[in-house]
Amino acid sequence: MSFNAEKVKNDIIEWIKSWFEQNGAGCNAVIGISGGKDSSVAAALCVEALGRSRVIGVLMPNGVQHDIDVAEKLVKTLNIKSYTINIKGAYDAEIEQLTSQLGELTSQTTQNLPPRLRMATLYAVSQSCNGRVVNTCNLSEDWVGYSTRYGDSVGDFSPLSNLTVNEVKQIGRILGLPSEFVDKVPIDGLCGKTDEDNLGFTYAVLDKYIRTGICEDEEIRKKIDRMHRINLFKLQLMPSFPYFPDNN
C-alpha cells in the first residue's frame, strides 16, 4: 500500500487545528528542538496548523551540544520564537544528590535522566507560555521502545506517533524542509551512538517489518519482536487496581 505524503500531511495539519480547538484554543505549541527529523517535521506541521507566532521551540543542551547549531538553524528556518535552556546545572546537581545517597548509579540512570529533565523543562515553559507540549516520537521508535518513559515518550498531543521513520521523512520533504533536517543521522543524545548502532538494525528494515510483516533476517525479526513485546508498557496507561465499591 502506497503512502500519500501530501494527503497525510494535510490530514495532520487539520488534526492539529482540531485538537487545539478542543484542548487549548489560543494556546501555543511548545516543542523540544533537536534539529533531527522528528522535531523538525513536528514543528513545521505546527507552524502550518497554528501559524509561526503560536509555535515555541525549546533547545535544551546538557552542557555543550556538538550539533546544537542544527537546532538553532531550524528555529531560524521556521522563524519561530525559541528559548535555550541548558539543563547541565540541574543534571549535575541531581547526579550529585543521587550519588551521595545511592553510591554508584547505573548507566540507565545517568542516560535517562537528561530526557526526563528536558520534559520537565518543556512543561515548565508550557505552563509559563500558555502552551501545550508536542510529543515528537514516531511509530518506529515507539515500536521497539526507543524512548525514555516520562521523558521524550510523553506530551500533550502526538502528530507523528503513527508514522514510521520513512513516512516522517516523506512528510518533511513535502513540507519543503531542507535535507539537513530531514536526513540528519539520528542519534539518541544519551550515549553518543546513532539510533541504528544502538538498535542493531536499520530503520528501513524496521519500517518494512512494521508495514508489511516481512523481515528477511530471522534473528533481526526475533529481536524486533522481543523489543516490541517487552516495551509495550511504555505505550499503555499506568495500570490501576480495578476497584468497584460494593453498593449492596
Q: What is the CATH number of the domain that holds 100?
A: 3.40.50.620
The grid coordinates of residue 13 equal: 495539519
| Average of per-residue pLDDT across 191-207 | 85
The grid coordinates of residue 101 equal: 545517597
Buried b (16+ CB within 10 A) or exposed e, 69-85: ebbbebbebbebebeeb
Query: Quick check: is 242 in a domain?
Result: no
Residue 138 has pLDDT above 80, yes or no: yes
Query: Quick check: is 240 in a domain?
Result: no
CB 60 within 8 A of CB 34: no
Q: Domain limits at 34?
A: 5-235
How many C-beta neighbours within 10 Å does residue 67 have? 15
| Average of per-residue pLDDT across 215-238 | 94
Q: Looking at 86-90, 145-149, 197-201, which range is the least confident one? A: 197-201
Query: Quick check: is 245 in a domain?
Result: no
| Average of per-residue pLDDT across 174-195 | 80
**Confidence at residue 67, expressed as pLDDT on a 0 to 100 scale:** 87
**Confidence at residue 192, expressed as pLDDT on a 0 to 100 scale:** 64
Residue 143 has pLDDT above 70, yes or no: yes
**Confidence at residue 191, expressed as pLDDT on a 0 to 100 scale:** 56
* pTM over 0.75, yes/no: yes
- Nearest-angstrom CA–CA distance, 48 and 29: 12
Query: Quick check: is 62 in a domain?
Result: yes
Question: How far is residue 218 CA from its own chain's centroid?
Answer: 29
What count of residues does the chain have? Answer: 248
- Nearest-angstrom CA–CA distance, 92 and 223: 35
Strands across the sheet with 28-32, in order? 81-84, 55-59, 28-32, 131-133
Query: Quick check: is 247 in a domain?
Result: no
Q: What is the mean pLDDT of the chain?
A: 94
**Confidence at residue 190, expressed as pLDDT on a 0 to 100 scale:** 54
**Confidence at residue 189, expressed as pLDDT on a 0 to 100 scale:** 55
| Average of per-residue pLDDT across 110-134 | 97
Domain count across the chain = 1
- pLDDT (tens digit per residue) in 61-87: 999 998 899 999 999 999 999 999 999
**Confidence at residue 196, expressed as pLDDT on a 0 to 100 scale:** 85
| Average of per-residue pLDDT across 90-104 | 97
| Average of per-residue pLDDT across 195-215 | 93
- Nearest-angstrom CA–CA distance, 31 and 133: 6
Query: Quick check: is 244 in a domain?
Result: no
Query: Quick check: is 248 in a domain?
Result: no
Query: Quick check: is 246 in a domain?
Result: no
